[in-house]
Amino acid sequence: MVTPHTVAKRWIVTGERGVGKTTFCRRLMEMANAAGWDVAGLLSLPRYEGEVKTGIQILDLRQGASRIMASTRPNEVEGFRFCGWTFSEAALAWGNEILRRATPCDLLIVDEVGPLEFDAGSGMTACFQELESEAYCLAIAVVRPAYEERFRLSWKGSATIAISSPEQAIKLAEARFAEFQRPIRNPSPKGPRLRNQKT
């Protein structure tokens, strides 16, 4: 039986492309918001034209604002090239500022920590400090399988949730939420009441 003493505070969500990692995070966010949690962080939302992925939008989970972070369309964003994408330097700076202001919170979501952060030392690098801060009741980091072990070993005390399909992602999010909710049922001293104390 899962109890508040056995539920991990740090969770890595992993899986291949398109299996539902962001779907898992979005469903978890919806349930957490409905339960009155303070949810913060970023979601990476794909943009498709037909079956071709042409853009990545980042969504501020606390305020609901969004920006195009990366694009394959010529001249849509200004920035630098990486792995076939043009990344917007302005959107990345905006996203990093959101992450720096995300904690304290009840639920921190970082979607995703990928090759840009691990291999290039760029992207949403503010996530590393915020994830290490523990100024949250629960944190979710989306990480591709190629980086999962490396990240898990560095993010001490973390556990892994493996996603295999969008349908499984929704069911798993709903099942996990019941477990996550137990340790957060009583307000945390690091929760919303301290949100404005961070400068």
Instruction: Kindly tell me if the per-residue pLDDT of 4 is higher than 80.
Output: no
Task: Give a yes or no: residue 80 inside a domain.
Answer: no
| SS3 label, residue 39 | strand
What pLDDT, on a 0 to 100 scale, did the predictor assign at position 167? 93
Contacts with 37 (C-beta within 8 Å, 6 or more apart), sequence order: 106, 107, 137, 184
Contacts with 63 (C-beta within 8 Å, 6 or more apart), sequence order: 98
> Six-digit token pair at 100?
């720096």
- Start-end of H helices in 3-83: 21-34
Measured CA to CA, the distance from residue 185 to residue 117 in angstroms comes to 33
Residue in 43, 33, 8, 3 with CA at minimum distance from that of residue 134: 8
Instruction: Kindly tell me if the per-residue pLDDT of 54 is higher than 50.
Output: yes
| SS3 label, residue 79 | strand
CATH number at residue 119: 3.40.50.300
Instruction: Kindly tell me if the per-residue pLDDT of 199 is higher than 50.
Output: no
Task: Give a yes or no: residue 155 inside a domain.
Answer: yes
Provide the domain count of the chain: 1
What pLDDT, on a 0 to 100 scale, did the predictor assign at position 19? 95
Measured CA to CA, the distance from residue 176 to residue 136 in angstroms comes to 17
Residue in 111, 86, 85 with CA at minimum distance from that of residue 98: 111
- 87 pLDDT tier (thresholds 50, 70, 90): very high
Residue in 42, 53, 109, 127 with CA at minimum distance from that of residue 83: 53
Instruction: Kindly tell me if the per-residue pLDDT of 46 is higher than 90.
Output: yes
∠ CA(5), CA(6), CA(10), 5° rounding?
105
Instruction: Kindly tell me if the per-residue pLDDT of 177 is higher than 80.
Output: yes
Q: What is the pTM of this model?
A: 0.88
**H or E segment to which residue 161 belongs:** strand 158-162
User: 89-134 pLDDT, tens per residue?
Assistant: 999 999 999 999 999 999 999 999 999 999 999 999 999 999 999 8
What pLDDT, on a 0 to 100 scale, did the predictor assign at position 68? 98
CB atoms within 10 A of CB 143: 26
Token pair 């995703």: residue? 112
Instruction: Kindly tell me if the per-residue pLDDT of 137 is higher than 80.
Output: yes
Task: Give a yes or no: residue 51 inside a domain.
Answer: no
Task: Give a yes or no: residue 84 inside a domain.
Answer: no
What pLDDT, on a 0 to 100 scale, did the predictor assign at position 6? 46
Q: Which domain holds residue 22?
A: 10-45+99-197
What pLDDT, on a 0 to 100 scale, did the predictor assign at position 180? 83
Task: Give a yes or no: residue 168 inside a domain.
Answer: yes
Task: Give a yes or no: residue 70 inside a domain.
Answer: no
Instruction: Kindly tell me if the per-residue pLDDT of 135 is higher than 60.
Output: yes
User: 19-43 pLDDT, tens per residue?
Assistant: 999 999 999 999 999 999 999 999 9
| Cα-based torsion angle of the residue sequence 27, 133, 62, 26 in order, rounded to the nearest 10 degrees | -10
Task: Give a yes or no: residue 93 inside a domain.
Answer: no
Task: Give a yes or no: residue 157 inside a domain.
Answer: yes
What pLDDT, on a 0 to 100 scale, did the predictor assign at position 183? 57
